[in-house]
Chain A
Amino acid sequence: MSSASDRTTHLESFDSFYRREYSGIVAIVRALVRDGTAAEDLAQDTFMSANRHWPKISGYDQPRAWVRRVAINKATSFLRWRGAEWRAVNRFGGQRETTIPELSPAGEEVWSEVRRLPRRQAQAVVLHYVAQLTMGEIAEVMECSTGAVKSHLSRARSTLSTTLSEWSEETP
């Protein structure tokens, strides 16, 4: 059984972890989800999950990998269903403001095209470019082989080299 001091240590450790990792998770989710408010809330939800399970997660070799995995899964879940619910709730409840600044049109276009990729490819792209993870780290987060990660990235780059160049040609 955990003692009170153990629990305090866990809470303090979580606080430190939370403040260090928060912006990185926001960045990952923001790239996967266009809505800044949703991205912030999904990042918060991710850390709330981490907080609930912290005594267990803090014992993992890579708590960061767990949090990143949860974040990309929450983003997927959001895109699959909750996006519709979210829009409806915001419509009736009033749009909350995000504290994430807007991206430039060029930047937004890049992530818009990334979001159009198959889900696993988009996740690999975001973890590679935004989170700047190695192939091994991405494989750990996505729970697949490094070969699969390379394959996802290769196919994603192939698609993006076409879609983004088309966009560049259309944009003066």
Chain B
Amino acid sequence: MNKLEQRMEEAAAEVRQVSRLVRPRDIGATRSRNSARLAFATAFAVVIGIGIIPFLTRGTDVVPLVSPGSVPSTVATDPTPTTAPELDCSAAGMPQAEPQPDLPEVVAAMRADIVGAATACDYDALEALAGPRLLTNFGGGGFESFYTWRDQGDDMLDLMVSLLAMPHGLQVIEGQPDIYAWPAAFTYDSWDEIPEQELEGLRDLYTDEELRQSEEFFDGYALWRLGITEDGDWKFFLAGD
């Protein structure tokens, strides 16, 4: 066995050993604990929402960090509100969409509705927004992909909401309705045109390797993106080329 194999085996044995010391909790207790966690996450999102209102009215794109001292004491001392809905998806508790300039009204409405449905974990509402023509892969997949992703343990809703919080761009294809796309990085002609600020946002969502591969293989952003036509139709949520 070479040195690397030895180190890996030793490290793996240690992880297995410490994990055996963890006792599985009662699954009922788990539900209660996670409900409390989700409830607190929701409360946290509300606090963030309250905190950004003054910034929204000043037209800034920057979401301010809220210092612990600015959290209302009612939230800090009561992290388990009994009225919070039990939401079970990755986007639960994420902030609602901030208004973005230059979006047609119908596009802005669809964007807000998608974020609202995703953060409410409301698949019925999402499916209604998607309509029959939504593309989720280049094989022609539609909304059913969302159920597949959910069943596989990564429902993608958090990523979708995160993308919709990023700057948008316009994809123009002759003879077809213009498409407003998130992130804007998707709409640049080459990787080099993507502004550093937008790349920085993408680094929060992807590994350096994933971004490097997108640059190397596509000379552009070919990772996950969402598009809404100028008519307000949700056109795609997919990755690849």
Chain A residues within CB distance 8 Å of chain B: 15, 18-19, 22-24, 26-27, 30-31, 40-41, 44-49, 51, 53, 69-71, 73-74, 76-77, 80-82, 84-85, 88-89, 91-93, 99-104, 106-107, 110-111, 117-119, 125, 129-130, 132, 157, 160-161, 164-165
* B24 with A19: CB separation less than 8 A: yes
The stretch of B5-13, B96-104, B105-113, B121-129 that contacts the partner chain: B5-13
For this complex, into which size category does the number of interface residues on chain B fall?
35 or more
The stretch of B37-45, B134-142, B231-239 that contacts the partner chain: B37-45
| Majority SS at the chain B contact face | helix
- Rounded to whole angstroms, the CA-CA distance of A81 and B212 in the bound complex is 19
User: What are 27 sample pairs from A and B whose C-beta atoms fall under 8 A apart?
Assistant: A18-B24, A22-B22, A23-B16, A26-B22, A44-B33, A44-B34, A49-B153, A73-B153, A73-B154, A74-B153, A76-B154, A77-B90, A77-B153, A80-B158, A80-B159, A81-B162, A85-B41, A89-B41, A89-B44, A91-B68, A101-B18, A101-B21, A107-B14, A111-B15, A130-B12, A130-B15, A165-B4
- Rounded to whole angstroms, the CA-CA distance of A83 and B159 in the bound complex is 12
**A42 → chain B closest CB, angstroms:** 10
B58 at the interface (CB under 8 A from A): no
**B77 → chain A closest CB, angstroms:** 11
* B71 with A129: CB separation less than 8 A: no
Q: Which of B20, B22, B34, B151 has the most CB of A within 10 A?
A: B22
* A107 with B154: CB separation less than 8 A: no
Nearest 4 pairs of A and B residues by beta carbon: A70-B153, A27-B19, A73-B153, A110-B11
**B154 → chain A closest CB, angstroms:** 4
- Rounded to whole angstroms, the CA-CA distance of A165 and B10 in the bound complex is 15
Nearest A residue to B91, CB-CB: A81
- Rounded to whole angstroms, the CA-CA distance of A23 and B23 in the bound complex is 8
Out of A22, A89, A92, A110, which one reaches B7, CB within 8 Å? A110
Task: Contacts A70-B153, A74-B154 given; indicate if A85 touches B15 (C-beta within 8 A).
Answer: no
Out of B75, B152, B159, which one reaches A81, CB within 8 Å? B159
Task: Contacts A41-B37, A100-B18 given; indicate if A81 touches B158 (C-beta within 8 A).
Answer: yes
B62 at the interface (CB under 8 A from A): no
- Rounded to whole angstroms, the CA-CA distance of A99 and B31 in the bound complex is 18
